[in-house]
Amino acid sequence: MSNQKIINIAVIAHVDAGKSTLVDALLKQGGAFRDNQEVVEQIMDSNDQERERGITIYSKNCAIEYKGTKINIVDTPGHADFSSEVERIMKTVDTVILLVDSSEGPMPQTRFVLSKALELGLNPILMINKIDKKDQRAEEVVEEVLELFMELDATDEQLNFTTLYGIAREGIAQLSLDEKGIDLSPMFETIIEQIGTYPIELADKPLKMQVSSLAYDSFIGRLGIGRIFEGKITEGQTVSVVKNNSEVKQAKISKLTVYQGLNKVNVKEAYAGDIITFAGIDHISIGDTINELNNINPMEPITIEEPTMSMNFLVNTSPFAGKVGKFVTSRNIKERLEKELEVNVGLKVKPLDNPTIEGFKVLGRGELHLSVLIEQMRREGFELAISKPEVIFKKGENGTLLEPMEKVILNIPTEYSGTVINKLNQRKGLMTDMDSDGVRDKIVYNIPLRALIGFRSEFTNDTHGEGIMVRSSNGFEAYKGEIESRKNGVLISMAAGKTLPYALNNLEERGILFVGPQVEVYDGMIVGQHSRDNDLEVNPTTGKKLTNTRASGSDDSVKLTPPKLMTLEEALEYIEWDELVEVTPEDIRLRKRWLSNTERRQHRNDNKKVFE
C-alpha cells in the first residue's frame, strides 16, 4: 500500500436522523459495491440486535476512494446509552458530518456528540437531512444549530461551518435549498476542500498511534484498532506499548489490515493518517499508545464519562434453573463479563458487597446499554437473574448527595399533555420549555434519571402509542428526594405446574396477567399485576372440579384476554427491589427475590441496601 492521501470522517447525529442510511449512500457512490451486487439497507448495522432494534449500537469503520483520496468513514451510535462508543473514536477523525433532521432540528444527543467534536477542535460539516419532508423547516433548523454551536462555546472558525442539504435515502446532497442535487458530490468536494488530506510528511516521523477500539478474532486473538498519528507501522515490527498507567511493554505486530470498502485488507505497512487493525498484542487496551522501540512518546489517555446506572447480574436460583441454559454458574458469568470489559469501555464490573449472594454489580450508561449486554448473553446460552436498575449517586464538594439528571424532550398529542405533565411533576421533574401548534405539544423536562425507570411503558399507554420521547444525560444535581415507585402490587403464583384457562379466567378480574394458558410456573413466580397496591398470592394452576351434572352453556370454552408479554427492557423497568427478572435463552420471567411465602414474611422488613 502506498502512502496515499487520507481523510478520516465520522457521521454523528441523533437516533433516526439517517446516519446509517447516509453511510450506505457514501459507500455506494464511493464504489464499495459491484454494479450488480445486492446490498441490504443500513449495511453497517451488521449486529443482530442492531437490525432488530433499528439502531446503531457499535461504532464501525469502512473506507471509500474519491478522486485519489482515501476517505475512512466511522458510523457512530446515536443513542445516549452508547455515547462511550462516540467519545473514544472522536480522536481518530479529522472532521465530523453532523446530520440533523430538517423537521425535528437538533435533539439532546445531537448536543452531546457535537460538544465532544468541538472540544477536540474539529470543524464540523452540517447536513440538514430529509428536506423532502412535508413539514421540513430547514432554514429554521440551521439557525437552531448555530445557536447550539454558540451555547457550546464554538470558536469563530467552528461557527463558520459549511451547510449542506440533502436526502440521504436517495443519496443526494446540495449546497442550497434552491438547487436540485443529483448525488453526494457536493459532500465529497466539501470534505476535501474544507479538511484537506492528512499531512503526508508526518509519515517520516517516529511511530505514534493510539488504540481507540478493540475486537476479537477466534483464530488470532485480540485486535487493536486505531489511527496512526505519526510515522508508519510494519507487519512483524517490534514496538513499544505505553499502557494507560504509563507502564511500557514490548510487543510484535503479527498482522496488519486496513479498511477498503467494508472489508479489511492485509497490508505489509500503513502510514500516518490511516485507521488500522492489528494483531499480536494480547494485553492491548483502549487508550494505549504504540511507539517505535525505545522511542517513547505517549498520547493523552482517552477519558470516558462515568456510568450512571447499575444492575446486579446474579446466578439464576429459580426451580427452572439450568433447564435450557448452557452457562449458569457464577464462574461462567464472571468470564463473560471480563470478556465484555475488553471491548465495552462504558462498562464496569464490581463484586457485590454481600458475599453470600452469587453475582456481580454491573455499571453502565443506561438501561439500554445494559439490556443489550443481557440480551446478547441470553442469545449465547447464559441464564441469569437481574435486579432492579439503580442509579449511581455521587458526593458533591461539600458532601451533598448528587444524582444524575436527564433532559427529556416529549412530542405528544395535545389531548394527552395534561396526564403526562402531571406524572412528570410527581416524579420531581422540572419543565423548562413548552411549545404547541394546537395539535401536538413539544415539552422539555429536566428530571432525575431514577424517575424515568419504568416511565416509558406508562408514557406509551398514556399517549396511546402516539407520543415520542427522547432523552440524554444532563449532568448531576442535588438529590431531589423520594420518588413514588410502582403503585400496583403483583399476582404471585403459590403453586407449581401448568397454568389452566379456568384459573386464569377467574384471575382476570384481579388484574393484568403476564402469562397465558399451558405455561409452566413455580411458587414465587410473578404471573400478573394486581389491580390494587398490595401483592396477592394466587393459584393459576387450579382446574375446574368435575361433576356428573352438565348444565346448558356452563361448559362453553373459556375466552381469555391475551396476556401482557413483556420485553426485557419492560421487565427491567417494571420490577421493584424485592423482585428479579429471570433471563434464559428461551424465556423472560418475573419472580420474587424470595420464592416462598415464609421467606418473604421473614424478609419483609429488610432494606434493599443489603443486596447492593
Query: Residue 306: how many CB atoms within 10 A of its CB?
Result: 13
151 SS3 class:
helix
Q: How far apart are CA 492 and CA 482, in angstroms?
A: 27
Q: Find the largest Cα–Cα distance for the chain.
A: 97
21 annotated as ligand-binding: yes
CA-based Rg of the chain, rounded to a whole angstrom? 27
Please choose, from the candidates 438, 478, 388, 412, the residue with its C-alpha nearest in 3D space to the C-alpha of residue 422. 412
Q: How far apart are CA 332 and CA 28, in angstroms?
A: 43
Q: How far apart are CA 32 and CA 356, in angstroms?
A: 55
Sign of CA dihedral 75, 78, 79, 85: positive
Please say whether the beta carbons of 76 and 87 come within 8 A.
Answer: no
Please say whether the beta carbons of 441 and 434 come within 8 A.
Answer: yes
19 annotated as ligand-binding: yes
129 annotated as ligand-binding: yes
In this structure, the strands spanning 172-174 and 208-217 are unpaired
Please say whether the beta carbons of 86 and 120 come within 8 A.
Answer: no
559 annotated as ligand-binding: no
20 annotated as ligand-binding: yes
In sequence order, what are the residues at sequence separation of 6 or more whose Cβ sits closer than 8 angstroms to the Cβ of residue 269? 1, 232, 233, 234, 235, 256
462 annotated as ligand-binding: no
Grid cell listed for 603: 424478609
Q: How far apart are CA 242 and CA 247, in angstroms?
A: 6
409 SS3 class:
strand
221 annotated as ligand-binding: no
16 annotated as ligand-binding: yes
Please choose, from the candidates 230, 243, 240, 245, the residue with its C-alpha nearest in 3D space to the C-alpha of residue 291. 240
Strand-pair partners of 412: 441
Looking up cell 446509552, which residue turns up? 81
**HSE, side-chain direction, 13 A CA sphere, residue 562:** 3
Question: Which DSSP helix (H) or strand (E) runs through 263?
Answer: strand 263-266
Strand order in the sheet with 263-266: 248-252, 238-242, 289-292, 208-217, 221-230, 275-279, 255-260, 263-266
φ/ψ of residue 419, rounded to 5 = -65, -45
Grid cell listed for 611: 443486596
CA distances in angstroms from 320 to 323, 358, 434, listed in the order given: 6, 17, 49
Q: How far apart are CA 259 and CA 240, in angstroms?
A: 24
In sequence order, what are the residues at sequence separation of 6 or more whose Cβ sits closer than 8 angstroms to the Cβ of residue 365? 80, 81, 82, 83, 84, 305, 307, 308, 309, 346, 473
Binding residues: 16-21, 129-132
Question: Which residue positions form the known binding site for GTP?
Answer: 16-21, 129-132
